[in-house]
Structure 1
Amino acid sequence: MQLPLIGKIERPMPWLVGLLALGIVGSTAVTIVALQRPKDATDITSLTVPVTQEDLTVRISASGTVVAKRSVNLSPKTTGRLAELFVEQGDTVSAGEIVARMESDDIEAQMMQARAAVAQAQANLERLRNGTRSEAIAQAEAAVRQAQAQVAEAQSRLNLANERVERNQYLAEEGAVSSDRLDEVLNEARSARAGVAQAEARVTEARGRLQELRNGSRPEEIAEAEARVAEARGRLQAVEVQQEDTLIRAPFSGVITQRYADPGSFVTPTTSASATESASSTSVVALAEGLEVLARVPEVDISQIRPGQPVEVIADAYPDEAFQGTVRLVAPAAVRERDVTSFEVRVQLNEGQDKLLSGMNVDLNFLGDRLQNALVVPTVAIVTKEGKTGVLVPDSENQAVFKPVTVGPSIGDQIQVLEGLDEGDRVFLELPEDQKLQDILSDEIQ
C-alpha cells in the first residue's frame, strides 16, 4: 500500500527571506527605541501654585460682641414704692439728672419739724447775741422795787407780831390771857418772820436778774445756744439726706436701655451695680454709656495684641462694612472655658456707633506688623508629617514629595514661610491622580 503523497517542500525564494529578516530587525529596533525613550512628565501647572514674595500686614482674627462701655442698673437706696418715673427706654440723660422719685410723705413731715427746730434755736441765739433791751432792764428794776416794798410790808407785819407777843406774854404771866391765846400770837410772829425771809429772797432774785440784764448774756450761754443751733442743723441735714435718697439720679451720662418698674411698684436696693438678671428684678431702669467691642483672643495670639493697635470690626448685620477701632485694653488675666484659654480685649470704636447696637456679634481683624518681601504660600498647602510642618513640592518627575519648612504668622488665607522655600518654587494644592496624601506622609523623612 502506497502512502499518499501529501506535498513537497520547496526551497524559498531568496528575496522573500530578506524581506522577512528586515521586518524582524526593524520591529526590534522600534521596540528598543520605545523602551529607551523617557516617560513624559505629568503637567502639574494646574495642581501647584508658585511661592510668591509680597508686602503684607499681619492680621489676627477673633470674634467679639458689641457691649456698653459702662452699664448699671439704677435702684433706690431705701426700700419703698416708686412715686414717679421721668424717663422712657431710649431716652438720653445727663450725669446727675433725676430719673425717678420714691414716695417720701413721712420724710417731708420730718423735714418741716427739723426746719422749725433750727429756726427756734437760731432765734434764741440771736437774742443772746443782741443783748438786753432797755425795756427789759426797766422791768427788772421795777421788779426789784416791788420786791423791796414787799420786804418792808413783811417787816411791818413782823414788828406788829413781835409787839403782840410781848404784850400777851405779860398778860399771860398776870393770868389775864389763856395759854392758847399766847400760842396763837406766837404762831403769828413766826409766820411774819417767814414772810420777811421770803420777801428778802425775792429781792435777791430780782436784783440778780437785773444785774444779768445790765451785764448782758454770758459767754457760756451763747456757746450753749450755738451748740443747740448746730444740733438742730445736724438733724435737718440728716432728714435732707433721707429726702435726697428718695431721688434716683443718673451717675453718668448715657442712654436708658431698659425699664424695669412702673410708678406704684415696690422696689428695693440692689446689692450690686452690675447688669444682672437678679439685679433687674428690683431695679428701676438700666443705664448704659457708649459702645465698645469685647473680644476674646486665643492665648497663642495674645502676644501680638497691644493697646493702641488698629482693628477692623465687621458686624454680622453689616457684612460689607469694616468699622475702624483701636485696642483700648488687654485683660491682665486669662479666661478659661471648656479647656480653652483666651484673653479679653476691649476695642474702642472710632466709627459705627450710629449703626452698631449693644449685643451685636462681630468679627475682628487686629492689624499687626507690616511684613516686607515676605514669602507666602496658601495656608491649605501646609501639611504635617511626623510632627514636622512642611509642604508638598514636585521632584524631578513632577511627583509630590514632602519638604519641611518653617512658617510664620497666617495672614488671611496665606501663611508666611520663613525657611525651606524660595520665591518661584511651586507647591502642590492638589495631588496627581496616581498619588495619595496618606502614602506620601507615611513615608519616612529622608
Structure 2
Amino acid sequence: MHPEALHRLVVLALLVLSAAGYGCRSRAHAKNKLPDAPYRAAGSAQLEVRPDLFSSLDFHRVGSGTTSVSVVGFGNVTFAPNASYAVRMPFAGTVERVHVATGERIKEGQSLATVRSSEIARVRAEARRLSVTVATEKELVARLDKLIQEGAASTRELLEARARLNTAEAELQGVREALAAAHIAPGAGDRYEVRSTTAGTVLARHVSPGERVSPDAEQPALLIGDPGKLVVRGSFPERDAPALVEGAACRFKVAALGSDEFLGSVTHLVRAIDPRTRTVEAYCKPATLDGRLTADMAARLEIQSASSPHMTVPRGAVLVRRDDRVVLVKQGAGRLERRVVRIGSTIADQVQIIEGLHDGDEVVIKNAVLLDGELDQVL
C-alpha cells in the first residue's frame, strides 16, 4: 500500500476511536448525574420542593374544635373506696368458732367469730380492778370533805385523794374505750365475740376453729364488702392522662364473661403516676349492677372523653428541628413554609397546638422528614 494512503487510514481510525470514547464518557456522565436536591431555600423559612417529592406528601387542614378520644386500659373489678373492710382480731387468742362462711350476707353487729384469749381476760380484770379503785377513791374524797369541814383532816390529804381518783378514772376510761373500739363487752371471762361494723357480704375467710390469731397477722381474718358497690379500676399510660376526666362515659369487658359489654361512668381518678409502671388509674362505676360481677375479675376498660376546644394536628405533623418544634405548612403549589409551633397536650393520636398555626392552614403529616436532614419526627 502506498505510504500516503496508509497514513490517511491510521488518522481515520484514530478519529473513529476518539469519537467512540467521547460518546461513552458522555453516556456514563449522564448515567451518574446526581438528582436535584429535595428543595431549594426561598427565604429563611420558605422551601421550594422538588415536584416529584411534593406530590408524595400528605396534607391535613387545621381547624379548632372539640376532639373526642378513646383510651384503653386494663385492670380488674374491685370495690369502690370505703365499700369493703378487713376484719382483724383485736386481741391475740385461739379461734373457737367461726359463725359465717364466704359469700354469706351479714348484718351490722352480727357475730363473726368467737375467740378465747388470756389477753382479754387480763383486760377485763383490769377494768374491774379500776372500777373498784374509782369507787374507793370516791368514797375517800367524800369522807375527807366532811373531815375538813370538822377540822379533822388536812387539805393536802383531800388533794392527794382527788389526784388518785382522777388517775383511776382516766385509766378506767381508757380500758373501756379499748373494749368499745373492738366492740367487746367489758363483762368477765376469757372469750370475746368479733362483730361486723356494717352490713355486707363475706368476701374472704382466712381463719378456722383452733387457729391461733393476733392483731398483727399477715392476712385479715375476714374480708367484708358491699357487692352493690363494685367498680372497675383500670391503669392507663401516662400519655393518656389528659384524656381522663371524671364523669366521662366508660365501657368495660370482663374476660370471664365473654363478649358482654358493660356501660358506666368515671367516678374517680388517681393522677399520681406510678413510678414503676408509669401509669395512672381511673375507676368506672357500672350504670347497672350485674350479679355476675365479682371482685378481682380481670377487665378491659375503655374511656371516651371529649377534650376542651382547641387546635389539633395529627402526631405525624409535629417535627423537631434543632431545639424547636416545627410543622411544614403548604403555601401553594410546590412551596412549603417551615413554621415553629408551641405544643400542648398529646391526646391519643392528636397533638394540641397552642401557638403557631391558624384555622385553614394545611400541614404536612407524612414523609416530611424526607425533605430535610435536620428534621426528625418528635412524637
Secondary structure of the 1:279 match is coil
Equivalent residue, structure 2, for 1:416: 352
Deviations 1:24-61 (A, max 9, x none): xxxxxxxxxxxxxxx98227566313224364246585
Structure 2 residue 224 is the aligned partner of structure 1 residue 287: yes
Structure 2 residue 67 is the aligned partner of structure 1 residue 67: no
- Higher gyration radius (CA): 1
Secondary structure of the 1:42 match is helix
Greater mean alpha carbon deviation, residues 409-418 or residues 293-302: 293-302
Matches within 5 A, 1:65-214: 65-68=76-79, 69-70=81-82, 71-103=84-116
Task: Supply the distance in 1 between the matched residues of 2:94 and 2:307 (Cα, whole angstroms).
Answer: 58
Equivalent residue, structure 2, for 1:388: 324
Residues 116 and 190 in structure 2, CA contact (< 8 A), matched pair in contact too: no
Secondary structure of the 2:210 match is coil
**Letter of the 1:309 counterpart:** G
Deviations 1:350-387 (A, max 9, x none): 4466455434354453735442xx54322232222223
Matches within 5 A, 1:229-268: 241=187, 246-268=192-214
Q: For the aligned residues, what is the CA RMSD? A: 4.9
Equivalent residue, structure 1, for 2:141: none
Deviations 1:73-127 (A, max 9, x none): 32333333323323322233232222323359xx99xx9xxxxxxxxxxxxxxxx
Equivalent residue, structure 1, for 2:263: 323
Secondary structure of the 2:366 match is coil
Residues 96 and 251 in structure 1, CA contact (< 8 A), matched pair in contact too: yes
Equivalent residue, structure 2, for 1:376: 312
Residues 377 and 417 in structure 1, CA contact (< 8 A), matched pair in contact too: yes
Secondary structure of the 1:286 match is strand
Q: State which of 347, 352, 375 in structure 2 corresponds to 1:441.
A: 375
Task: Supply the distance in 2 between the matched residues of 1:256 and 1:429 (Cα, whole angstroms).
Answer: 56
Equivalent residue, structure 2, for 1:309: 247
Residues 389 and 404 in structure 1, CA contact (< 8 A), matched pair in contact too: yes
Task: Supply the distance in 2 between the matched residues of 1:320 and 1:399 (Cα, whole angstroms).
Answer: 52
Alpha-carbon distance, 1:321 to partner: 3.7
Structure 1 residue runs of 5 or longer lacking an equivalent are: 7-38, 112-233, 272-277
Alpha-carbon distance, 1:441 to partner: 1.7
Alpha-carbon distance, 1:252 to partner: 1.9
Please report the TM-score for the alignment, with normalisation by the length of structure 1.
Answer: 0.45
Residues 248 and 305 in structure 2, CA contact (< 8 A), matched pair in contact too: yes
Task: Supply the distance in 1 between the matched residues of 2:308 and 2:68 (Cα, whole angstroms).
Answer: 6
Alpha-carbon distance, 1:260 to partner: 1.0
Matched residue count:
265
Matches within 5 A, 1:331-342: 334=272, 337-338=275-276
Secondary structure of the 1:326 match is strand
> Against the structure 1 CA distance between its residues 4 and 97, is the aligned structure 2 distance closer, same or farther, given a 3 Å change threshold?
closer
Equivalent residue, structure 1, for 2:343: 407
Please report the TM-score for the alignment, with normalisation by the length of structure 2.
Answer: 0.52
Equivalent residue, structure 1, for 2:60: 50
Structure 2 residue runs of 5 or longer lacking an equivalent are: 7-48, 125-175
As a proportion of its length, which structure holds more strand? 2
> Against the structure 1 CA distance between its residues 351 and 406, is the aligned structure 2 distance closer, same or farther, given a 3 Å change threshold?
farther
> Against the structure 1 CA distance between its residues 397 and 253, is the aligned structure 2 distance closer, same or farther, given a 3 Å change threshold?
same
Residues 77 and 246 in structure 1, CA contact (< 8 A), matched pair in contact too: no
